A and B are shown apart, each in its own frame.
Chain A
Amino acid sequence: MARLVGRRALFAVPVLLVVTFGVFAIAAASPFDPVKAYAGTAGLTASQDNLDQLRANLGVDRPLAARWWEWLTSALTGDLGDSSTLRQPVADVIGERVGWSVLLAATAFLVAILLGTALGVLAARRPGGWLDRAVTSLAYTLEAAPPFWLGLLAVWLFALKLGVLPSGGLTDTASSAVTAGQVATHLVLPAGVLAISQLPWFVLYVRQGVGDALGDDPVRGARARGLAERTVLLGHALRSGMLPVLTLIGSRVPELITGALLVETVFSWPGIAAATVQAATSVDFPLLAALTALATAAVLLGNLVADLLYGLADPRVGFDG
Chain B
Amino acid sequence: MRARSIRGTGGAAAAIAIAVAASACSAPGDGSAGGAKDSAVVGIAYEPDTLSPLLGYGKDGNSKIFDGLLTHDADMKLRPALAADLPKVADDGKTYTYKLREGVKFSDGKPFSAKDVVFTYETILDKKTNNASKTELDAVKSVEAKGDDTVVFHLKYPYAPFAERTVLPIAPEHIAGKQDVNTGAFTTKPVGTGPYELVKWSRGEKLTFKANPGYWGGAPKIKNFTMAIIKDDDVRATRLDAGELDGAILPPNLAKKYEDDGGKKTYAAKTFDYRVVTLPTGNKVAGDTDIRRALDVGVNRKAMVDSILDGAGKEAYGPVPTDSPWFTKGTERKFDAGKAKKILDQAGWKPGKDGIREKDGVRAAFPLWYLSGDKLRQDHALAYASDAKKLGIKVEVQSGTWEVIEPRMPKDAVLAGGGSPADPDFDQYTLLKSSLAGDGFNNMAHYDNKKVDEALEDARKSGDHAKRQVAYDTIQRELVKNPGYTFLTHIDHLYVVDKRFGDLSTQVEPHDHGLASGPWWNVEDWQPAK
Which residues in window 200-227 of B have CB below 8 A to A?
200, 202-206, 208, 210, 224, 226
Taking the closest CB of chain B, its distance from the CB of A256, in whole angstroms, is 13
CB <8 Å contact, A46 and B6: no
| Chain B neighbourhood of A57, CB < 8 A | 127-128, 130, 182
In the complex, identify which listed stretch (A65-73, A164-172, A205-213, A224-232) lies at the interface while the others stay far away. Answer: A164-172
CB pair B136 A103 closer than 8 Å: no
**A159→B204 CA distance, assembly (Å):** 20
B412 to chain A minimum Cβ distance, whole angstroms, is: 17
A289-321 interface bits toward B, Cβ cutoff 8 Å, 1 = contact, 0 = none: 000000000000000000001001101000000
Tell me if A99 counts as interface (CB < 8 A to partner B).
yes
Contact of B418 with A by CB under 8 A: yes
Stretch at the interface among A80-88, A119-127, A138-146, A189-197: A80-88
Task: Decide: A41 and B41 in contact? CB cutoff 8 A.
Answer: no
Judged by a CB distance under 8 angstroms, whether A22 is at the interface is: no
- Verify if A21 is at the interface (C-beta below 8 Å from B): no
Q: Which residues of B contact A87 (CB under 8 A)?
A: 49-50, 52, 55, 182-183, 187-188
Residue B430 at the chain A interface, CB threshold 8 Å: yes
**Residues of B close to A167: CB separation below 8 A:** 235, 238-239, 242
Beyond A174-B224, A176-B31, A178-B27, is A46–B440 a contact (Cβ under 8 Å)? Answer: yes
Q: Are B203 and A274 in contact (CB under 8 A)?
A: yes
Q: Mark A29-58, 1 if CB is under 8 A from B, else 0.
A: 001110010111111111111110110011
Question: In the complex, how many angstroms separate the beta carbon of B220 from the nearest chain A beta carbon?
Answer: 16
Please state if B204 and A274 are interface contacts (CB–CB under 8 Å): yes
B441 and A177: CB pair below 8 A? no
Q: Do A106 and B17 have beta carbons less than 8 Å apart?
A: yes
**Chain B residues whose C-beta falls within 8 Å of the C-beta of A247 in the assembled complex:** none
Say whether B24 faces chain A, with CB atoms less than 8 Å apart.
yes
Contacts of A77 in B (CB 8 A): none
Q: Is the CB of B202 within 8 A of A170?
A: yes
Contacting residues of chain B (497-529) with chain A, CB-CB under 8 angstroms: 511-512
Tell whether, in the assembled complex, residue A176 and residue B30 are in contact, meaning their CB atoms are under 8 Å apart: yes
Closest to A268 in B: B205
With known contacts A87-B49, A99-B21, A174-B34, A33–B403 Cβ distance under 8 A: yes
On chain A, the residues within 8 Å of B55 by CB distance are: 87
Which one of A36, A82, A178 lies within 8 Å of B403 (CB-CB)? A36
Give the shortest distance, in Å, between B431 (CB) and chain A (any CB).
10
Instruction: Decide if B362 is an interface residue (CB 8 Å cutoff).
Output: no
- Chain B residues with CB under 8 A of A97: 24
Q: Which residues of A sit under 8 angstroms from B403, Cβ to Cβ?
A: 31-33, 36
Residues from chain B with a CB closer than 8 A to the CB of A128 are: none
* Chain A CB within 8 A of B245 CB: yes
Which residue on A lies nearest to B204, using beta carbons?
A274
Contact in complex: B24, A176 (CB < 8 Å):
no
A interface footprint on B20-62 (CB within 8 Å = 1, 0 otherwise): 1111111111111111100101000000011010011000000
- Residues of A within 8 Å of B228, CB to CB, are 169, 173
- Which B residues touch A42, using CB under 8 A? 56, 132-133
* A254 interface contact, C-beta 8 A: no
Asked if A47 contacts B238 (CB within 8 A), the reply is no
- Chain A residues with CB under 8 Å of B244's CB are 172-174
Interface residues of A in 223-247 (CB under 8 A from B): none
Q: Which residue of the partner chain A has the closest CB to B36?
A: A174
B331 contacts the other chain (Cβ, under 8 Å)?
Answer: no
Q: Measured between alpha carbons, how far is A103 from B16 in the docked complex, in Å?
A: 11
B258 within 8 A of A: no
Cβ B133 vs Cβ A174 within 8 A? no
Q: Are A176 and B32 in contact (CB under 8 A)?
A: yes
Chain B residues whose CB sits within 8 angstroms of the CB of A49 once the complex forms:
135
**In the complex, what residues of B have CB within 8 A of residue A170's CB?**
202, 205
Determine whether B439 belongs to the interface, using a CB cutoff of 8 Å to chain A.
yes
Give Cα A44–Cα B135 distance, bound, in whole angstroms: 11
Return A158 CB to nearest CB of chain B, in Å. Answer: 12
Please report the total number of B residues contacting A with Cβ < 8 Å.
Answer: 75
B interface footprint on A1-43 (CB within 8 Å = 1, 0 otherwise): 0000000000000000000000000000001110010111111
Evaluate contact between B442 and A45: CB separation under 8 angstroms.
Answer: yes
Q: Given contacts A87-B55, A87-B188, A88-B188, is CB(A175)–CB(B132) below 8 Å?
A: no
Is the CB of B84 closer than 8 A to any CB of chain A?
no
Determine whether the beta carbon of A36 is less than 8 Å from that of B6: no
Please measure, in the bound complex, the distance between the C-alpha atom of A84 and the C-alpha atom of B50, giving whole angstroms: 11
Is A163 a contact partner of B242 (Cβ separation < 8 A)? yes
Given contacts A86-B203, A173-B239, A270-B204, contact A50 B440 (CB under 8 A): yes
Q: For residue A293, give the distance in angstroms from its CB to the closest CB of chain B.
A: 17
**Quick check: is A255 within 8 A (CB to CB) of the other chain?**
no
- Which residue of A has the minimal Cβ distance to B444? A44
Residues on the A chain within 8 Å of B24, using CB: 95-100, 103
The listed residue (B20, B35, B56, B127) touching A99 by CB distance below 8 A is B20
Complexed CA–CA distance, A45 and B60 (Å): 13
Q: How far is the CA of A172 from the CA of B206 in the complex (A)?
A: 10
- Nearest B residue (CB) for A264: B204
Return chain A residues, CB-CB under 8 Å to B187: 87-88
Residues on the B chain within 8 Å of A106, using CB: 17, 21
Report how far A36 CA is from B403 CA in the complex, Å.
8
B77 adjacent to chain A (CB < 8 Å):
no
Do residues A89 and B20 form an inter-chain contact, with CB atoms below 8 A?
no
Query: What A residues does B20 contact at CB under 8 A?
Result: 98-99, 102
Task: Report B283 CB to chain A, min CB distance, Å.
Answer: 21
Could you show 20 A-B contacts with beta carbons less than 8 Å apart?
A33-B402, A33-B403, A36-B403, A45-B133, A45-B442, A46-B132, A46-B441, A47-B440, A54-B130, A57-B130, A87-B55, A87-B188, A99-B23, A102-B21, A174-B33, A174-B36, A176-B27, A178-B25, A270-B204, A274-B203
Interface residues of chain B, those whose CB is within 8 Å of chain A, are 2-3, 5-6, 17, 20-36, 39, 41, 49-50, 52, 55-56, 127-128, 130, 132-136, 138, 180, 182-183, 187-188, 199-200, 202-206, 208, 210, 224, 226, 228, 230, 235, 238-239, 242, 244-245, 401-404, 418, 430, 436, 439-442, 511-512
Q: 17 extra interchain contacts, Cβ-Cβ under 8 A, other than A31-B401, A85-B49, A99-B25?
A: A41-B512, A44-B418, A45-B133, A45-B135, A48-B440, A87-B49, A87-B50, A96-B26, A167-B238, A167-B242, A168-B235, A169-B206, A170-B205, A174-B244, A176-B199, A177-B32, A268-B204
